[in-house]
């Protein structure tokens, strides 16, 4: 099959080269946005008089047919067409003849592919935003359903202080909110139009880029033709936002894996989301979460790919840039699939309240609150810390909890203790006395739940 750029060549392409350089096997993903871009370009060409109204009508008719064929899975994506842009253009030429040959007026595949990829990325960001929001909703509902459940909070994976489970879950809602902000922020810079930059220098023809911008809903134009065709920082930013989001998914996955372990015994995985072992009949494996953690490597890898592809590229377009698509497509697909699963999985999480109680019992989780009690009664914090530490040692040595140490023994170490200290010494009740804004206690968590339910409505 003759190439659209065949003019100055006499010999054909080596079949290995053809296979090596084709992108149609993956950039067919851009088919719909390529058509959208071409239609906007054609409309502009007609408005400025570079093609006739009749040409435009023919292009619209041909493109509509192609779109239907693609929608119905009847379009033939042939490797000889090299990429999606050539593929659609040659299909159009077959359908409508001469008017199709005018479509590429004042356009290059360089500004065309950059435009397509921006349109595609913009749509995907909007879709991903809704998926992340759905996951946030699931987490808020789960937090609300378990709003009374107190558990140990950890630092260094050592039990530290009692917290509400809801606070732990809402921490992920906050992370996801920032992930959405990052995607929105990337979107602002994705949302600029490269088309009209042509190969790299613009054109001598009297085009009007504003018409195309308006038609495709871009907020502004890429203002420098060379920059427009050669940079892929919008891909980098999008992938960086996705990689960061996956770091959060991965941490969530790790928490759930720990909770579901026999050692923790805090969470029972629903049948629908666990897998068995082919040899050990007792197993319930958290494969969804392990795969989520694993796929994080893949998305971070995609970010590394695009960073490395763009690094050191001379201006302007280089074919290296064809390597921008697969990492982006793969990361977005992976994000869509992961988000869909997680949003469905979260509502099935059921916690073992008995186990939460046991976990609160050991570990002197009320030691910090005891120190704060002494601070309220006038002791400098460093001294209060020491007193509380001494009492922990005393209790530990005698196999007791802090609340089981008698007031007299306490007074011996520090006379500031009064009977009311015992009101503070039940870890299960500690969250009731956290006061600071954003704390893990009853009042602040209730406020946070109300706030999130309102925001996510």
Min separation Cβ 109 and ligand ARG, Å: 4
CA distance 273 to 48: 58
Min separation Cβ 213 and ligand ARG, Å: 21
Among 40, 42, 44, 113, binds ligand ARG (CB under 6 A): 113
Give the nearer residue to ligand ARG in terms of CB position, either 321 or 339. 321
Among 29, 34, 83, 444, binds ligand ARG (CB under 6 A): 83
**Which is catalytic among the residues 25, 52, 261, 277?**
277
Q: What is the DSSP string of 384-441?
A: HHHHHHHHHHHHHHTT--GGGS-HHHHHHH-TT--GGGGGT--TTTGGGG--STT-SS
CA dihedral 257, 260, 265, 268 (to 10 degrees): 160
Q: Does 29 bind ligand ARG (CB under 6 A)?
A: no
Nearest by Cα to 257 from 272, 247, 267, 242: 267
Q: Are 46 and 100 in contact (CB under 8 A)?
A: no
Q: Computed from CA positions of residues 311, 218, 205, 4, in that sequence, does the dihedral angle turn out positive or negative?
A: positive
Min separation Cβ 105 and ligand ARG, Å: 16
Q: Does 330 bind ligand ARG (CB under 6 A)?
A: no
Min separation Cβ 27 and ligand ARG, Å: 6
Among 23, 138, 250, 316, binds ligand ARG (CB under 6 A): 23
Nearest by Cα to 365 from 168, 150, 148: 150
Q: Does 32 bind ligand ARG (CB under 6 A)?
A: no
- CB neighbourhood size of 160 (10 A): 15
Quick check: is 385 catalytic?
A: no
User: What is the rounded end-to-end Cα distance, in angstroms, of the chain?
Assistant: 55
Min separation Cβ 9 and ligand ARG, Å: 14
Q: Which stretch binds ligand ARG (CB under 6 A): 105-113, 201-209, 267-275, 395-403?
A: 105-113
Tokens of 373: 């009690």
Contacts of 53 (CB under 8 A, 6+ apart): 46
3-state DSSP assignment of residue 275: strand
Nearest by Cα to 193 from 36, 31, 328, 24: 36
Min separation Cβ 313 and ligand ARG, Å: 12
3-state DSSP assignment of residue 109: helix
290 HSE (CA, 13 A, CB side): 10
Q: Which stretch binds ligand ARG (CB under 6 A): 53-61, 314-322, 396-404, 412-420?
A: 314-322
DSSP 150: E
Beta strands in 250-393 (DSSP E): 267-268, 350-351
**Which is catalytic among the residues 156, 248, 302, 436?**
156
Beta strands in 220-376 (DSSP E): 220-221, 267-268, 350-351
Give the nearer residue to ligand ARG in terms of CB position, either 295 or 325. 325
Q: Does 81 bind ligand ARG (CB under 6 A)?
A: no
Q: Does 231 bind ligand ARG (CB under 6 A)?
A: no
Q: Does 285 bind ligand ARG (CB under 6 A)?
A: no
Quick check: is 85 catalytic?
A: no
Segment 249 to 278, residues that bind ligand ARG, using CB under 6 A? none
Min separation Cβ 230 and ligand ARG, Å: 11
Give Cα separations from 398 to 162, 238, 273, 403, 422 (angstroms). 23, 57, 44, 13, 18
Give the nearer residue to ligand ARG in terms of CB position, either 110 or 430. 110
Residues binding ligand ARG: what is the number (CB under 6 A)?
9
3-state DSSP assignment of residue 172: helix
Q: Are 427 and 360 in contact (CB under 8 A)?
A: yes
Q: Does 110 bind ligand ARG (CB under 6 A)?
A: yes
Q: Does 109 bind ligand ARG (CB under 6 A)?
A: yes
Q: Which stretch binds ligand ARG (CB under 6 A): 150-158, 188-196, 319-327, 429-437?
A: 319-327
Q: Does 198 bind ligand ARG (CB under 6 A)?
A: no
Helix axes 367-376, 381-397, angle to 10 degrees: 140
Q: Does 321 bind ligand ARG (CB under 6 A)?
A: yes
Min separation Cβ 210 and ligand ARG, Å: 24
Catalytic residues, which ones?
A: 156, 277
Residues that bind ligand ARG (CB under 6 A): 23, 27, 83, 109-110, 113, 319, 321-322
């Amino acid at each position: 099959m003759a190439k659209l750029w065949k003019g100055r060549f006499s010999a054909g392409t080596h079949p290995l080269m053809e296979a090596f350089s084709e992108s149609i096997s993956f950039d067919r993903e851009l088919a719909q946005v390529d058509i959208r871009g071409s239609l906007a370009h054609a409309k502009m060409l007609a408005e400025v008089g570079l093609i006739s109204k009749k040409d435009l009508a023919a292009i619209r008719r041909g493109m509509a047919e192609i779109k239907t064929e693609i929608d119905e899975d009847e379009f033939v994506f042939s490797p000889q067409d090299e990429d999606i842009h050539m593929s659609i253009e040659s299909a159009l030429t077959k359908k409508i003849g001469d008017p199709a040959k005018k479509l590429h007026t004042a356009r290059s595949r360089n500004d065309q592919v950059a435009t397509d990829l921006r349109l595609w990325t913009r749509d995907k960001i909007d879709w991903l935003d809704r998926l992340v929001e759905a996951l946030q909703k699931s987490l808020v509902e789960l937090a609300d359903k378990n709003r009374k459940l107190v558990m140990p909070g950890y630092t260094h994976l050592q039990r530290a202080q009692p917290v509400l489970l809801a606070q732990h879950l809402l921490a992920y809602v906050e992370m996801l909110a920032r992930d959405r902000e990052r995607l929105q922020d990337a979107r602002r810079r994705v949302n600029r139009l490269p088309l009209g930059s042509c190969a790299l220098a613009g054109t001598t023809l009297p085009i009007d880029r504003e018409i195309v911008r308006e038609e495709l809903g871009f907020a502004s134009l890429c203002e420098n033709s060379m920059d427009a065709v050669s940079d892929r920082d919008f891909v980098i930013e999008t992938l960086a936002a996705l990689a960061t989001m996956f770091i959060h998914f991965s941490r969530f996955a790790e928490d759930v894996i720990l909770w579901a372990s026999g050692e923790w015994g805090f969470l029972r995985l629903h049948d629908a989301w666990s897998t068995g072992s082919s040899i050990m009949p007792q197993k319930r494996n958290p494969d969804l979460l392990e795969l989520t953690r694993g796929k994080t490597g893949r998305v971070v890898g995609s970010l590394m790919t695009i960073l490395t592809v763009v690094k050191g590229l001379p201006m302007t377009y280089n074919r290296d840039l064809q390597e921008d698509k697969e990492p982006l497509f793969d990361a977005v697909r992976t994000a869509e699939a992961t988000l869909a699963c997680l949003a469905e999985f979260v509502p099935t999480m059921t916690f073992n309240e008995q186990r939460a109680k046991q976990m609160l019992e050991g570990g002197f989780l009320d030691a910090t609150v005891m120190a704060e009690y002494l601070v309220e009664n006038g002791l400098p914090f460093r001294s209060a810390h020491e007193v509380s530490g001494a009492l922990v040692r005393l209790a530990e040595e005698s196999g007791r909890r802090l609340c089981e140490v008698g007031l007299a023994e306490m007074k011996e170490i520090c006379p500031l203790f009064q009977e009311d200290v015992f009101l503070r010494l039940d870890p299960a009740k500690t969250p009731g006395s956290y006061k600071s804004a954003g704390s893990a206690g009853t009042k602040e968590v209730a406020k946070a739940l109300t706030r999130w339910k309102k925001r996510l409505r």
